[in-house]
Amino acid sequence: MELTKLLGRFFWIFLSFLAISCQDDEVIDPGNEDGDGQEPDTEVVNLALGKTVETKVNDLNGQGSNPKMAGLITDGDSTTYWESADSYKHSILIDLGGVQEVSKIVVRWADGRGCNAYNINFGKERDKITNVVGKNNVKEDKISTFEGFREEARYVEFVVRGRLDYKGGYRIAEIEVYNENNEEHVNTPEEQKAIDTITERLRADYLNDDPDEKGVGSFMNSMQPDGSWSDIDYDDQISVDGWKPEGHLNRLRTMAINYSHPKSSFYNNPTLLEKIERGLLFFKQKAPVSSDNWYYNDIGAPQKYMVPVLLIKGSLPRKNMMAVSVYLKDKIEGFIGGGKNLSWIAEIAMHKGCAEDNYSTVQHSFNAIASTLAIVPKQGDEGIKIDGSYHQHHAQIQSGSYGMSLVDDISQFMEISAETPFANEFTSEKKEIFHTMLLDGTLLLSYRQAIDFGTRGRNVARPSTGYTTISKDVLRKLAVGDPDNAGMYNGWINHIEKGSAFPKPNVNKHFWKSDMMTQHGEEFYLSAKIISKRTYGTESLNQENLKAFNLPLGSTNIMTTGNEYNDIFPVWDWTRIPGTTAINNQDKTVLNGYQIGNNEFGGGASNNLDGIMAFSGEYNGLQANKAYFFIDNMMICMGSGISCHEGEEILTSVEQNFLNGMVVYNDGEEKQLDSDGDLQGKQLKWVHHNNTGYIFDQADNVTMRNNTQTGSWKEINGTGKSDLISKKVFSLWFNHGVNPIDESYRYIVVPGQSLSSFRTLVDQVDLQVAQNSSVVQAIRKNNKYGFVFYQKGSVTMDDDLKVSVDKPAIVLIEKNDSRYHITVSDPTYTQSDLTLSLNKKLEAVDGVTLTEEGCNVAIKLPTDDYQGSSITKSYMIK
């Protein structure tokens, strides 16, 4: 039996009989103080009805006390109850959604599980709550009533601190909050106008497309009297293969869209409305839960529930609307700092506020969404990072997944808040953070219609539409909202739609908070993703991304069309992810949970035009030092110290992408590889495919293959389809043999080159490798030098330049005329300074000390949020 306690004679009769104080047995009637038994002229307003509740052990900073059931305290149903954890003291905090006047509180205990001591605390702000009412040495096991005070508060905290003679936790059926004037906050005309504007804009979005009437009639006819459907398993708690109760909400959404859409034959159908309301009430009362994924309970189900609630607003009396909207909760405070999860939670609160005409809740939601536009400095905390990347699920770059979704949300909420007071939440400072995140982050991780697969998390295990980068609609809105950068946004749109030149070419970007580096030309994209103990490389959760172990271990993206890796993942050989060095054993690709870095050495140095990325680590018993030199729009890849004692064959993958046109190679003569060709053990000079050239310096352990590869989404996603997919794939890799010891490799990637231009360029590349060892990797290309020092040491280049460092470092030097431009970084993220020595005399400016051999250059390294980033200084040669 459901008791709404909202309106009507039944409520008043019921309350007059049950509302008995456990302290003095007086009749308590919050709406009829005269006790004349007559129905009052006004409705009793329970300010707590449907409001968000937090339940904690001891105090507000304690751990949760059965938080999943906390909503039962304010659900308006005395037949349900919340039971605390089995301990002495608990805090129950009710958020009224806005500041209200409070003068009476009624607590209804269940099954005699009351208490003998408690406090009632109030506050306008969550962190400024003070005690007002308290009782000690009482015995209250049915109803506790508090009167004789008047407080203005948004937060009401009920603290229980003494059980009666029973075992187990407290049981509270309801906490009701009233005020003396029997009224709640009434919106001003301006506030109501703002709510109505947001409501109509949200509704317009849901009703944008023509309605699909398919199934509506059968849904109505097959609905049970209680609002359920017999073919839906409401007790299903396992979400791995799809959470069954969602089917109920999907049907209600379809029904509500048809009820609300003027083009539907079901438009304003009263029977359909009654069915929708009944279905919502059933789901609210049943409250299905997922036991294996919190997402469905806190986000997934409420997100689906909120749509029909909003769409039928205005068609139900207020008391009925409150009865269905109570399922939606404002859980914002529990998700502050939660990045994308917070935006989802805020969206739910926004719908709740609009449905209930609660201005404070709607404002709270916009404030929460705007709060995501902040730089989050602590590594491991989720959100926007100072380098323009976005983290979710610990210190893991998710710019192409959760971050992309957050961008969509922020853009949408900025748009729907326009010309309302809620737009003030998006200050100029927050907008600047948003624009910077996009133009210095998302843009530089994208190419045409694709975003780097290293930023997509487990989304790579889900089929896409072939479009994985930012929405063009978002960019169009930004071109209007950020006129100073309109040219960049429009260029970005043209790049996506027409394949025009990248709008920010010849830029190297080191994402030092995320262990990634990208390089853009007008017609190509290059990147390298590494791992360290400061980052989570990727994740395999909810049976997704099952073969991702090697994904962050030096993977590269090489794109000239943007389609190179578009849904290639089911047919990939995951032992050969481009750029990685790995064991040739499919079992060793399996990942469970997070891929958390264990290596300290891992970082990069960038002067914004050129850069170097490198790491040294041991994973699956395989040790390797891997470096990527991005110089002059080429990527020079080098590996050293490759050793393994696992009895396994070790491979370094150069490329594995979709076959696109001819594969031409040179092993002394220029030849073309057949479409099903397989070439091994040749001394290759170079290979060309997909407007990209690969230079090998006569390596004889390279395998090149064109073949049809077959797989299924289910192999990498436990919930994916098992249908086999076959694709033509081009592969290129080094074979280091079984149990290699101190093996090495090097190759050059030259993207954006036609075959004819590449032929000409090959003989012009002036690359000198001075060393490729476990101590240092050092190269010179014309007037540019790159060094990866895995420990302190020195190296002499082919032109006699000698460079030494006193600790591990990554160094990039460019010589122009009479100056050295020196860029350095600390790949261990632990040092505050570095001394670099040259056998050249430099002008004795600050930090430069002349020596007999040349000079020492003392450099202060970036600290705090910039630790691990680069510093560039210029020095005059004497």
Confidence at residue 330, expressed as pLDDT on a 0 to 100 scale = 86
Confidence at residue 683, expressed as pLDDT on a 0 to 100 scale = 86
Average pLDDT over residues 647-675: 96
Q: What is the CATH number of the domain that holds 314?
A: 1.50.10.100
pLDDT tens by residue, 266-285: 999 999 999 999 999 999 99
**Catalytic site residue from 113, 393, 510, 705:** 393
**DSSP letters for 716-778:** TBTTS----EEEEEEEEEEEEEES-SSEEEEEEEEES--HHHHHHHHTT--EEEEEESSSEEE
| Band (471; pLDDT cuts 50, 70, 90) | very high
The chain-wide mean pLDDT, for the chain, equals 92
- State the DSSP code for 47: T
Which residues form the domain of 828? 770-876
| Rounded (5°) CA angle 822-825-829 | 165
Is residue 19 scored above 70 in pLDDT? no
Residue 477 lies inside a defined structural domain of this protein: no
Q: What is the CATH number of the domain that holds 796?
A: 2.60.220.10
Residue type, position 620, single letter: N
Backbone angles phi, psi at 805, to 5 degrees: -135, 155
Which of 178, 207, 240 is the last residue in one of the domains?
Answer: 178
Average pLDDT over residues 18-27: 34
Residue 719, Cβ density class (10 Å: 0-12 exposed, 13-18 middle, ≥19 buried): middle
Token couple for 409: 């949300």
- For residues 172 and 190, membership in a common domain is answered with no
Confidence at residue 599, expressed as pLDDT on a 0 to 100 scale = 98
Residue type, position 866, single letter: Y
Q: Residue 50 and residue 323: Cα distance in Å, rounded?
A: 8
pTM of the model: 0.83
Q: How many CB atoms are located within 10 Å of the residue 674 CB?
A: 10
The SS3 of residue 399 is: coil
- For residues 222 and 256, membership in a common domain is answered with yes
Lowest mean pLDDT among 72-81, 123-132, 179-188: 179-188
Residue 82 lies inside a defined structural domain of this protein: yes
- pLDDT top residue among 25 and 328: 328
Q: What sign for the dihedral angle of Cα 312, 317, 318, 322? A: negative
- For residues 131 and 208, membership in a common domain is answered with no
Is residue 47 scored above 60 in pLDDT? yes
| Band (43; pLDDT cuts 50, 70, 90) | low
The pairs formed by 345-350 with CB atoms below 8 angstroms and a separation of 24 or more are 345/298, 345/299, 347/303, 347/306, 347/409, 347/413, 348/299, 348/302, 348/303, 348/306, 350/198, 350/202
Residue 233 lies inside a defined structural domain of this protein: yes
Confidence at residue 326, expressed as pLDDT on a 0 to 100 scale = 86
Residue 372 lies inside a defined structural domain of this protein: no
- For residues 190 and 115, membership in a common domain is answered with no
- For residues 269 and 205, membership in a common domain is answered with yes
Residue 465 lies inside a defined structural domain of this protein: no
E runs forming strands in 439-551: 446-447, 450-451, 507-511, 516-521, 524-529, 536-540
Q: Residue 692 and residue 525: Cα distance in Å, rounded?
A: 11
Average pLDDT over residues 367-390: 96
- For residues 171 and 215, membership in a common domain is answered with no
Q: What is the CATH number of the domain that holds 58?
A: 2.60.120.260
Token couple for 287: 């409250």
- For residues 170 and 195, membership in a common domain is answered with no
Confidence at residue 338, expressed as pLDDT on a 0 to 100 scale = 81
pLDDT tens by residue, 820-855: 999 999 999 999 999 999 999 999 898 999 999 999
Is residue 875 scored above 50 in pLDDT? yes
Residue 425 lies inside a defined structural domain of this protein: no
Residue 37, Cβ density class (10 Å: 0-12 exposed, 13-18 middle, ≥19 buried): exposed
Catalytic, 295? Answer no
Confidence at residue 354, expressed as pLDDT on a 0 to 100 scale = 96
Query: How many domains is the chain built from?
Result: 3
CB 800 within 8 A of CB 785: no
Confidence at residue 42, expressed as pLDDT on a 0 to 100 scale = 52
- For residues 163 and 197, membership in a common domain is answered with no
- For residues 81 and 216, membership in a common domain is answered with no
E runs forming strands in 598-739: 602-606, 611-619, 622-631, 634-644, 649-658, 663-666, 670-672, 678-689, 692-711, 725-738
Tell me how many helices (H) and strands (E) the chain has: 15, 42
- For residues 208 and 331, membership in a common domain is answered with yes
Confidence at residue 27, expressed as pLDDT on a 0 to 100 scale = 30
- For residues 139 and 259, membership in a common domain is answered with no
Q: Which residue is it, tokens 């009895």?
A: 647
Is residue 15 scored above 60 in pLDDT? no
CA distances from 719 to 461, 463, 709 (A): 10, 12, 21
Which of 113, 144, 178 is the last residue in one of the domains?
Answer: 178
Q: Which residue is it, tokens 């020092």?
A: 789
Catalytic, 402? Answer yes
**Catalytic site residue from 113, 458, 689, 705:** 458
Confidence at residue 20, expressed as pLDDT on a 0 to 100 scale = 31
Catalytic, 819? Answer no
Identify the helix (H) or strand (E) that includes residue 416: helix 402-416
Residue 821 lies inside a defined structural domain of this protein: yes
pLDDT tens by residue, 52-96: 899 999 888 888 888 878 889 998 888 999 999 988 899 999 999
Burial string for 302-339 (b: 16+ CB within 10 Å, else e) reads bbbbbbbbbbbbebbeeebbbbbbbbbbbbbbbbeebb
Residue 426 lies inside a defined structural domain of this protein: no
Q: Which residue is it, tokens 């003027």?
A: 262
Which of 318, 340, 360 is the last residue in one of the domains?
Answer: 360
Q: Residue 214 and residue 221: Cα distance in Å, rounded?
A: 13
Is residue 16 scored above 50 in pLDDT? no
Is residue 691 scored above 60 in pLDDT? yes
Q: Residue 762 and residue 765: Cα distance in Å, rounded?
A: 6
**Catalytic site residue from 118, 155, 296, 402:** 402
Residue of 187, 188, 97, 195 lying closest to 420 (CA atoms): 195
pLDDT tens by residue, 555-600: 999 999 999 999 999 999 999 999 999 999 999 999 999 999 999 9
- For residues 137 and 268, membership in a common domain is answered with no
Confidence at residue 23, expressed as pLDDT on a 0 to 100 scale = 35
Is residue 636 scored above 60 in pLDDT? yes
Average pLDDT over residues 205-214: 94
The pairs formed by 402-407 with CB atoms below 8 angstroms and a separation of 24 or more are 402/339, 402/340, 402/457, 403/340, 403/442, 403/455, 404/442, 404/451, 404/468, 404/469, 404/470, 405/340, 405/343, 406/339, 406/340, 406/343, 406/372, 407/437, 407/438, 407/442, 407/470, 407/471, 407/474
**DSSP letters for 295-307:** HIIIIIHHHHHHH
Max CA-CA distance within the chain? 107
CB 338 within 8 A of CB 402: no
Residue type, position 204, single letter: A
- pLDDT top residue among 329 and 540: 540
